[in-house]
Amino acid sequence: MRHLKLVHSTEAAPEMSVKIAFASADRKTVDQHFGAAEAFVIYELSENDARIVEAVEFHDGDIAMDGHEGKLAAKIALLSDCAAVYCNAVGGSAIKQLMAAGIQPMKVPEGSAVDELLCGLNQAMLSEPPAWMARRMKMADGSRFDAMDAEGWSE
């Protein structure tokens, strides 16, 4: 497996952001089945921006689809910071495991452009985010814990 993770040390992380994964061999279109994905590209989406933060490629022996449930666990662990993963197809077992990990599987037609999907997600984030995105944004919003701490605890 080859894994590139970009680190942006010179700028602060966006206040409200979510990571979105795309099963994509060319990093431009969604062109892979989740279980057999040869590669994922991961973007960090904020209200004003979408930037690539990770790219992962698997070796030929790493991507067999049938009878390799352990491969799913490794891919799901890799995507653990993501709110959703876009792919062309996803099996029932993978759906259950992704949902249990808090990752929304999204099935889109083969060849769907990553840029167009990001643009649609950005618009949804600004107006009315889908439930899976809203949940992940709330989890990332540390300010709610500050407010709870300021209230104090009473028994």
Model pLDDT for residues 32-76, shown as the tens digit of each residue: 999 999 999 999 998 888 999 999 998 765 444 445 567 899 899
Check residue 111 and report its DSSP letter: T
What pTM was estimated for this model as a whole?
Answer: 0.80
Answer left, alpha or beta for residue 2, where phi above 0 means left and psi between -120 and 50 means alpha: beta
Q: Is the pLDDT of residue 144 over 60?
A: no
d(CA 38, CA 55): 11
**Which amino acid is it at 114?**
V
d(CA 93, CA 117): 25
Instruction: Sort strands 17-23 and 82-87 into parallel, antiparallel or unpaired.
Output: parallel
Model pLDDT for residues 66-113, shown as the tens digit of each residue: 455 678 998 999 999 999 999 999 999 999 999 999 999 999 999 999
In the chain, the domains with their CATH numbers are: 2-151 (3.30.420.130)
3-state secondary structure of 34: coil
